[in-house]
Amino acid sequence: MSYSISLTVNGAQQAVTLDDPRVTLLDLLRERLDLPGTKKGCDRGQCGACTVLIDGRRANSCLALAVTLDGAEVTTIEGLARGETLHPVQAAFIDHDAFQCGYCTPGQIMSAVGLIAEGQAGDDPERIREGMSGNLCRCAAYHGITQAVCDATR
Ligand code: FES
């Protein structure tokens, strides 16, 4: 049995046929839609590397079954910049050196964008750290990340 879904990814309509209902949004993005910016870390909802926005809300794409996303609007890290102009959160991450190896950075940025959109960030570092607690950084670049989100919130 196959499943046909249609979803919008970074503003583009995508019609997809799935042969396996267990395909995650993460694998769909990376392996079928040529969008490798979303990273696979734990693949079990524990690290946040795979964070995207689904209908404007933060989600771990490794936990979202693609088959359930018919009609959804998905935004990935590739969909943030406008041409040569970075999203303010992306620019703030650069300004504050908010990364070391960079593997978690797409998920951190997408989570920050969602947090700010939810009005949950404020410019309180403690609140930001709590709001971003689902996004792990093995290099422990948390100070720069928090400063970047603070800055982007202002
Ligand atoms: Fe999805 Fe870790 S890869 S939470």
Number of domains in the chain: 2
| pLDDT, mean of residues 18-42 | 98
Per-residue pLDDT tens over the stretch 124-149: 899 999 999 999 999 999 999 999 99
Nearest atom within ligand 1 for CA of residue 61 = 1
Q: From residue 23, how far is each of 16, 146, 152 by CA, in Å?
A: 11, 33, 34
Domain that holds residue 17: 3-79
> What number is the ipTM of this complex?
0.98
Instruction: Decide whether any atom of ligand 1 lies within 6 Å of the 62 Cβ.
Output: yes
pLDDT for res 121: 78
Report d(CA 49, CA 140) in Å as an integer: 14
Global pTM? 0.96
| H or E element, residue 6 | strand 3-9
Instruction: Decide whether any atom of ligand 1 lies within 6 Å of the 147 Cβ.
Output: no
Residues 102 and 135 in one domain: yes
**Protein residue whose Cα sits closest to atom 4 of ligand 1:** 45
Strands 51-54 and 57-60: antiparallel
Per-residue pLDDT tens over the stretch 67-82: 999 999 999 999 999 9
Report d(CA 35, CA 14) in Å as an integer: 13
Q: What is the CATH number of the domain that holds 46?
A: 3.10.20.30
